[in-house]
Structure 1
Amino acid sequence: MYDVLPPERRPRAQAAPDSIPSPAPRFAVQTGAAALAASLVIAGLLANDPRTPVLRGPDAALTGALTGPHGSLFTVAATVVQAGVGGPPGLVGPLLLVGYLLVYRRWWSALYSFLTCAAANVLLLPLKSAVDRPRPADPWILVSGGSFPSVHAYSAAALTVVLSAVIAGEAARRRWWLLGAGFTLIVMWTGVWVHSNWPSDAVAGALAGAGTALLLWKAFSSPLRREAEREAASRRR
């Protein structure tokens, strides 16, 4: 005869592992399209007169509220954040992510991550040229080109969504998005603090980054799902 354990002493079934890459959110297309459209609306408001735009008043008021003394510790921190997210140092994180995914043969995840980050050149550079908005007076860091939209804010928002798709897993998605949203807001604030961007530049950049990453996530949903199934099968071996 076989001993039958009482229910309270029976081993609990283990929960299924997270599906990584995790599936795109239910409303990824609608949310991504709305975010991109909002970014383009801001561009339209600025395009007619980038020097005295409709947003000049709110931008000036918010810039005054979000900046402080030039020599403060906040300025040092903001400069470090801006240097780490933008320029050549800002490429290190995305390249490390793509390299990590390639090492583990997650080809579709790597391609999705690369295209999302590379889309900044396709989407933002034409917008910068079309709007050609002057930056705030006397920026505290080295800047080039137009102020609109913020490439730093784009990178932060896009990277948040990308990591949600290929690293965080579905179970941890909400917690990760809260952290990513906080990081993106910090990047947006630091750009305004050092007079690199106007607040509307940062908002438009973040919207474009999140929207692009969500739409590409949905576009890659089928190969990412197959990759997740392969990943789950390899864990069970």
Structure 2
Amino acid sequence: MHGTVRERTGKEIEMRQFVTIRGVIGVLGIASVVLVGSFAMADITPPPPPFSGKCDFLTGGGFIYPNGVDKGNFGVGGGCKKGSGTDSIPYWGHLEYHDHGIDLNVHVIDITAYFPEGDTGTDPKTHQPTGTRWVCGTARSNLYGDVDFAVRASDAGEPGTADEFDIQLTQNGVIVYSTFDFSGGTHHQLGGGTGGGGNIQLHDPNPSTTGEFGGSCPAAI
């Protein structure tokens, strides 16, 4: 589905980009989708089904150019820890994000989901895993109040220039901010054609990362 992204800084500013999260919609399933004016609304059920393989964890930091000019700095982490996803044990993670163009600050409250997109590979140099993970949860923001967030982060191997980061914020099922632009099938890279910098690192499972991929990701609409 396609939703129109609008951002507000006390007054509406002009439409900046179009948003589609086809991959996550395909994983989570859609019960209903309603478009209201320029905003995208959706009811996504159920949570992701169980995934094969052991749960792992991801860390990363850097910057992208959300509008092609101004930096968006981020620090992100997510994963399983001591049984996450079972017996109501929460997922581990963190998120800090600052869009300098509109002076948006986002700070994590809690992590509600962690799951993979596509296959997991291996970096031939470091022998660490490569692949894409989604980190979802709730956060505080200085412009929109409390929000749900969905982060898509991809480790494409070293040196990290092809790694990717995108973030979307929703409030009551309405997109209030997003860096996703699937109209051309591209994501914000930490180097290369879309600029940016930093590194996403996917880590091997270890005895402390027990649990199951899954959770609830209402911002992935």
| TM-score for the superposition, normalised by structure 1 | 0.26
So what's the TM-score if we normalise by structure 2? 0.27
Q: Which protein has the bigger strand share?
A: 2
Q: Which has the higher helix share?
A: 1
* Structure ID, larger Rg: 1
